[in-house]
Amino acid sequence: MNRSKTVGEHQARKRFGQNFLVDNNIIEKIVSAIAPTPNQNLIEIGPGQGAITGPVLEKCPRLNVIELDRDLIPLLQKKFHQYPELHIHQGDALKTDFSQFYREGKPLRIIGNLPYNISTPLMFHLLSFSGQIRDMYFMLQKEVVTRLAAVPGDKNYGRLSIMVQYYCQVEPLFQVPPTAFRPAPKVESAIVRLLPYPEPPYPADDLQLLSRLVRACFQQRRKTMRNTLKHMLNAEQLEQLGIDLTRRPETLSVEDFVVLSNQIGALL
């Protein structure tokens, strides 16, 4: 079955998560939130047919874009031929080494109306470069933005909230309805700003251990900390931890998780 829809001359491809922005008011709102200025180090993921690219180039003519769909490259080259400092990279943002774009004194500003099917792995990939990133502006499913910004006690608080908030301040900006896109997605969308901390405020001694701990805790979020942690530690070690073991994972802050993971690391 052909699930693609024609937009202009290009067939929107579902497997690339292609929902192109067509609402000029929304595009303007996104670009004014980003507030590009000349000579900044902007990188756009998934420029598509250039809905955001065009207005960004007007404010910052030096721009790198990464697009997976080979068919869109000639279209972008033609549309923006008057911008010699636009560098179009054909490739997969999930496999891109973003440190190649870093320039001394010019941390990365990463933007994108992201393909929703890869938005979570893509954010985790980008966070591995967080020390080189000034800010990120993403269009995501509204539900994902809610999870990113959730605080302890929220039903949406979980692994994504904790691991992203470990690195970044999360600021939901505004919602975008399905009618702003062609083809229209089935879900509501939202724009979020992520501001990486120069250094994580609560540094983990072992990031992999923190990640394992958080994953284990939210696999069964209704379990108490004792029931989750008994698979990692013996009874004696459990008693040495400084937390109330009757608590549920969803009540622990990012700082609590980091402190706990550092304590567990010291016991193992």
When the beta carbons of 48 and 196 are compared against ligand SAM, the nearer one is: 48
When the beta carbons of 115 and 158 are compared against ligand SAM, the nearer one is: 115
User: In this structure, are residues 263 and 242 in contact, taking their beta carbons and an 8 Å threshold?
Assistant: yes
**Which residues, in sequence order, are bridge partners of residue 45?**
66
The least distance separating ligand SAM from the CB of residue 66, rounded to whole angstroms, comes to 5
What backbone torsions phi and psi does residue 146 show, to the nearest 5 degrees? -60, -40
User: In this structure, are residues 144 and 120 in contact, taking their beta carbons and an 8 Å threshold?
Assistant: yes
When the beta carbons of 115 and 249 are compared against ligand SAM, the nearer one is: 115
Q: What angle do CA 125, 127, 131 make, to 5 degrees?
A: 130
Give contact residues for ligand SAM (rule: CB under 6 A).
16-21, 45-48, 51-52, 66-69, 72, 92-94, 113, 115, 118
The least distance separating ligand SAM from the CB of residue 69, rounded to whole angstroms, comes to 4
The least distance separating ligand SAM from the CB of residue 179, rounded to whole angstroms, comes to 14
When the beta carbons of 93 and 150 are compared against ligand SAM, the nearer one is: 93
The least distance separating ligand SAM from the CB of residue 19, rounded to whole angstroms, comes to 5
The least distance separating ligand SAM from the CB of residue 114, rounded to whole angstroms, comes to 6
**Which residues, in sequence order, are bridge partners of residue 174?**
191
Q: Catalogue the long-range contacts made by 227-234 (C-beta closer than 8 Å, 24 or more residues apart).
A: 229/264, 232/264, 232/268, 233/264, 233/267, 233/268
Helix axes 119-127, 159-167, angle to 10 degrees: 30
Cα–Cα distance measured from residue 214 to residue 231, given in angstroms and rounded to the nearest whole number: 13
What backbone torsions phi and psi does residue 6 show, to the nearest 5 degrees? -75, 130
Q: With H, G, I as helix, E, B as strand and everything else as coil, classify residue 173.
A: strand
Cα–Cα distance measured from residue 224 to residue 132, given in angstroms and rounded to the nearest whole number: 37
- Which residue is at the shortest CB distance from ligand SAM? 46
When the beta carbons of 7 and 207 are compared against ligand SAM, the nearer one is: 7
When the beta carbons of 92 and 188 are compared against ligand SAM, the nearer one is: 92
When the beta carbons of 10 and 230 are compared against ligand SAM, the nearer one is: 10
The least distance separating ligand SAM from the CB of residue 172, rounded to whole angstroms, comes to 18
The least distance separating ligand SAM from the CB of residue 155, rounded to whole angstroms, comes to 27
- For every residue of 46-88, DSSP letters joined together read --TTTTTHHHHHHH---EEEEE--TTHHHHHHHHTTT-TTEEE
